Structure 1
Amino acid sequence: MKISNGVAMLELKIQDFILHPTLIWDDETAILIDTGMPGQLDQIRTAMNDAGVPFEKLKAVIVTHQDLDHIGSLPEILQAATNQIDVYAHELDKPYIEGIFPLIKTNPENMNKEEWASLPKEMQFLYKNPPESKVDHSLEDGQLLPYCGGIQVIYTPGHTPGHVSLYLKKSKTLVAGDAMICVDGSLQGPVQRTTLDMNTALASLQKYLNFDIESVICYHGGICINAPKEQIQNLVERVEL
């Protein structure tokens, strides 16, 4: 789904869910934000082609955080690439993405026997064998990446220690990762069940008010174009109450 010139929200289907990576491009470069679950490389290629962007144009991948459904196809992308692809993530999530530490939320050692037994065999395999990938560049709050008119990093911890959101300056689009979800066009705060530090995650929403936002892409739920800045303001005011 095209959001503006050079910005598209992709749709990756996994069972009953749809994940929404973001694709950004200009005449020289294409950037992918988040990579779906393991095994979704073909879907990513197809979605990029549908947007008119060949896979070979991809020069960088930005990972908003360490969760399995965001880093899943990253190793496959790097293996399939015929050119150098730089990988960006926040330093606090970098060692998890690189496999130095087990992913926080899907570490089998942190689950009781009942939780583990309830998982399908395929998920048990993924939890035991999570994707691992190099991270070439560590992201910092306020950093401006010189791609496609400028991508500003907003450090929004809480969902994970190193969760980041990204502001696309040219299109005034916020890529929120999992800091918010979108339900029928309405923004909601992070999902408590999958958020490690809810208080910190809610406090992070305040940072969005510093930006001129015309649209928001949530990884879960998709696009919000209905007065997104006002919706974020309402979320922040509810937290402050």
Structure 2
Amino acid sequence: MMEDLVAQLSSNGVSLEMLTGIIITHQDIDHIGNLSRILEINSRIKVFAHSDDAPYIEGKIPLLKPLPKMIEAFGANFSRNGNRIDHSVADGEQLDVAGRFIVIHTPGHTAGHISLYHPDSKTLIAGDAMVVRGDQLLGPNEAQTPDLPEAYRSLAKLTSYDIQKIICFHGGIFDTDANQWISKLASHVEDD
């Protein structure tokens, strides 16, 4: 998995040594699995995450969802030793990265889950707040979301942003009537 990350960076003319920061959307292993190795290679990287997920990321408490098969997939490379959070992000905070990103606290999938909105491109990095399957935008993976009602309340927060493109960790990019789809998903909380 580390090889995939290095290859993706390289294909864009970037190396791990060039990185100055990493924003962690939440504490699941498939989002933090390479962090300790990355920090070994480049200890100057500043790590950003929400404080509610920081103790999981840093290894102070067990992962909320340890997912043994996922840990096995990372093999000997998975460790939380050396993981650190340098900056705890807050809802509404603006990060001076690639122009500007707005942090949106979207709990439910984990307590400290965040999404990132890039106003210049009207793009939302959703982490695991939503997934794409086929040509549909869906809510969070129910089996991996401990507080599903909270996750749908979080989606309602997204309706106040002008979103044209959504990047979901699971499923990729969704760019067809994004705001309408988010509104439809957010209405799920009203149906409960």
Same fold (TM over 0.5): yes
- Cα offset for 1:91? 0.3
Q: Verify the 8 A CA contact 1:88 1:136 in the aligned structure 2.
A: yes
Could you tell me which residue of structure 2 aligns to residue 68 of structure 1? 29
Structure 1 ranges of 4+ moved more than 2 A: 51-57, 119-126, 129-132
Give me the whole-angstrom Cα distance separating, in 1, the residues matched to 2:14 and 2:136. 29
- Cα offset for 1:41? 2.2
Matched, 1:122 2:72: yes
Matched, 1:55 2:4: no
Q: Which moved more, 1:172-181 or 1:98-107?
A: 98-107
Name whichever structure is richer in strand by fraction.
Answer: 1
Q: Percent same amino acid at aligned positions?
A: 42
Give me the whole-angstrom Cα distance separating, in 2, the residues matched to 1:121 and 1:218. 21
- Of the three residues 104, 128, 131, the one matched with 2:80 is 131
List runs of 5+ in structure 1 lacking aligned partners: 1-39, 108-115
- Of the three residues 220, 224, 236, the one matched with 2:170 is 220
Give me the whole-angstrom Cα distance separating, in 2, the residues matched to 1:215 and 1:136. 29
Matched, 1:97 2:47: no
SS in 2 for 1:210: coil
Give me the whole-angstrom Cα distance separating, in 1, the residues matched to 2:182 and 2:171. 15
- Cα offset for 1:159? 0.5
Could you tell me which residue of structure 1 aligns to residue 187 of structure 2? 237
SS in 2 for 1:49: helix
Q: Verify the 8 A CA contact 2:107 2:154 in the aligned structure 1.
A: yes
- Cα offset for 1:54? 3.5
Give me the whole-angstrom Cα distance separating, in 2, the residues matched to 1:221 and 1:201. 18
TM-score of the two chains, using structure 1 as the length reference: 0.73
Could you tell me which residue of structure 1 aligns to residue 123 of structure 2? 173
Give me the whole-angstrom Cα distance separating, in 2, the residues matched to 1:76 and 1:56. 12
Name whichever structure is richer in helix by fraction.
Answer: 2
The amino acid that maps onto 1:75 is S
Deviations 1:83-106 (A, max 9, x none): 610000100100111111011111
TM-score of the two chains, using structure 2 as the length reference: 0.90
The alignment yields a C-alpha RMSD, in angstroms, of 2.2
Deviations 1:54-83 (A, max 9, x none): 4332110000000111000011111112x6
- Cα offset for 1:186? 1.6
List runs of 5+ in structure 2 lacking aligned partners: none
- Cα offset for 1:173? 0.7
The amino acid that maps onto 1:184 is G
SS in 2 for 1:45: helix
What does residue range 200-215 of structure 1 map to in structure 2 within 5 Å? 200-215=150-165
The amino acid that maps onto 1:93 is D
Compared with structure 1, are the counterparts of its residues 103 and 121 closer, same or farther at alpha carbon in structure 2 (3 Å cutoff)?
closer
Could you tell me which residue of structure 1 aligns to residue 39 of structure 2? 78
Give me the whole-angstrom Cα distance separating, in 1, the residues matched to 2:36 and 2:135. 32
Q: Verify the 8 A CA contact 2:128 2:170 in the aligned structure 1.
A: yes
Give me the whole-angstrom Cα distance separating, in 2, the residues matched to 1:182 and 1:124. 24
How many residues end up aligned between the 2 structures?
A: 189
The amino acid that maps onto 1:85 is I
